[in-house]
Chains A and B, each alone.
Chain A
Amino acid sequence: MNSFEPQSQDSLQRRFHQDNSTTQQPRDTTTPFIPKPASKNHNNSNSSSGAAGRSFQGFGLNVEDDLVSSVVPPVTVVLEGRSICQRISLDKHGSYQSLASALRQMFVDGADSTDDLDLSNAIPGHLIAYEDMENDLLLAGDLTWKDFVRVAKRIRILPVKGNTRQVKRNE
């Protein structure tokens, strides 16, 4: 990893000068924008020349789904009390219901398919929560599925304790 550090510093300095030029408009992150989709490039040798264009990769309407499916790593699933975790690829599922079905298959022995399955009853007596990139623990189901796939980094299955206040799902 030592070889990366000087390169990063050089890249940083060059981009700092680029960003400071008066001809370049500062990016307003509060304004929604739709940048043009960029071609997918796996070649690392061209990183410095095409970095500006590639910084918008993944935000094009047509390219986004392909890129998201190729870059989403599998997430760890932790059942409270068990020491051995499992992994699941969220991009292989298209909905919370599909995720609920997969989790039921993982953790409920002799699980049969249920028509009325969702996150709240996938694993009886348990809540499905997740940790996001800020390591906050949140109840699964509030976000749209696509947003959930993007921000969920770890899934935690927690028992519903009797003395804990029940959290209601806003459906």
Chain B
Amino acid sequence: MGRGRSSSSSSIESSCKSNPFGVSSSNTRNLSTDLRLGLSFGSSSGQYYNGGDNHEYDGVGAAEEMMIMEEEEQNECNSVGSFYVKVNMEGVPIGRKIDLLSLNGYHDLITTLDYMFNASILWAEEEDMCSEKSHVLTYADKEGDWMMVGDVPWEMFLSSVRRLKISRAYHY
């Protein structure tokens, strides 16, 4: 499933940061912008000194550092007042995006996802019941750990969620 397209790297970064499209200026401005994202120098050093330019960038950085970078870039693309996260369901190749700030809480989230994916989704508040629901909602937090949705208050959930996944529930 690897679809690395190193030739598109400069386009990707330029478009996300709304920089004028050009190789020279793109390189310079990407350096400036990336440093202001608050990345540690150790992380930046590994990425920049090993990669000569944007075209080699994707293949050089460590996967973890790339994940951090990409998540920060993703947040940059959210408009003020909305917070879109990606949702994937196990077995479904096409993901969705959902604006968590437009929801009122966990029940609203579950109802919306039930409709989007035509599924019956379990979450933490229902964990004790013997449920026949076939899927469980999990989220990736800031550290990349997958947690069950509903384990913390809604506001705390909003501050740590990075991605959602609807996994198959195994009851046995």
Tally of A-B residue pairs with Cβ under 8 A?
171
| Bound-state Cα–Cα, A150 to B11, Å | 11
Known: A71-B19, A133-B70, A165-B91. A27 touches B37 (CB 8 A): yes
Judged by a CB distance under 8 angstroms, whether A109 is at the interface is no
Judged by a CB distance under 8 angstroms, whether B116 is at the interface is yes
A71:B38 contact, CB within 8 angstroms? no
Known: A136-B86, A143-B84. A51 touches B28 (CB 8 A): yes
Judged by a CB distance under 8 angstroms, whether A131 is at the interface is yes
| Bound-state Cα–Cα, A84 to B80, Å | 38
A47:B15 contact, CB within 8 angstroms? no
Interface residue range, chain A: 35 or more
A147:B84 contact, CB within 8 angstroms? yes
A129:B79 contact, CB within 8 angstroms? no
Known: A29-B38, A67-B20, A147-B79. A134 touches B70 (CB 8 A): yes
**B118 / chain A contacts, CB cutoff of 8 Å:** 165-168
Known: A44-B22, A71-B21, A153-B8. A55 touches B95 (CB 8 A): no
Which of chain A's residues 64-104 have a Cβ closer than 8 Å to chain B?
A: 64, 67-68, 70-73
Known: A19-B36, A135-B3. A4 touches B52 (CB 8 A): yes
Judged by a CB distance under 8 angstroms, whether A57 is at the interface is yes
Judged by a CB distance under 8 angstroms, whether A106 is at the interface is no
A142's nearest neighbour on chain B, judged by CB, is B97
B94:A127 contact, CB within 8 angstroms? yes
**A129 / chain B contacts, CB cutoff of 8 Å:** 94
A58:B18 contact, CB within 8 angstroms? yes
A26:B91 contact, CB within 8 angstroms? no
Contact with B along A128-166 (1 / 0, CB 8 A): 010101111111001110110011010000100000111
| Bound-state Cα–Cα, A77 to B29, Å | 29
**A146 / chain B contacts, CB cutoff of 8 Å:** 79
A138:B96 contact, CB within 8 angstroms? yes
Judged by a CB distance under 8 angstroms, whether A113 is at the interface is no
Judged by a CB distance under 8 angstroms, whether B16 is at the interface is yes
Our pick among B3, B41, B52, B92 for the contact of A167 (Cβ within 8 Å) is: B92
| Additional A-B contacts beyond A29-B75, A71-B20, A138-B97 (19; CB < 8 A) | A1-B53, A4-B53, A11-B31, A29-B38, A47-B24, A47-B28, A55-B36, A57-B20, A71-B18, A135-B5, A136-B95, A138-B86, A143-B97, A150-B77, A153-B11, A165-B92, A167-B96, A167-B118, A168-B117
User: Measuring CB to CB, which residues of chain A are less than 8 angstroms from any residue of chain B?
Assistant: 1-2, 4-5, 8-9, 11-12, 15-16, 19, 26-30, 32, 40-42, 44, 47-48, 51-52, 54-55, 57-59, 64, 67-68, 70-73, 127, 129, 131, 133-139, 142-144, 146-147, 150-151, 153, 158, 164-170
User: Measuring CB to CB, which residues of chain B are less than 8 angstroms from any residue of chain A?
Assistant: 3-5, 8, 11-22, 24-25, 27-29, 31-33, 35-38, 41, 44, 48-49, 52-53, 55, 70, 72-80, 82, 84, 86, 88-89, 91-98, 112, 115-118
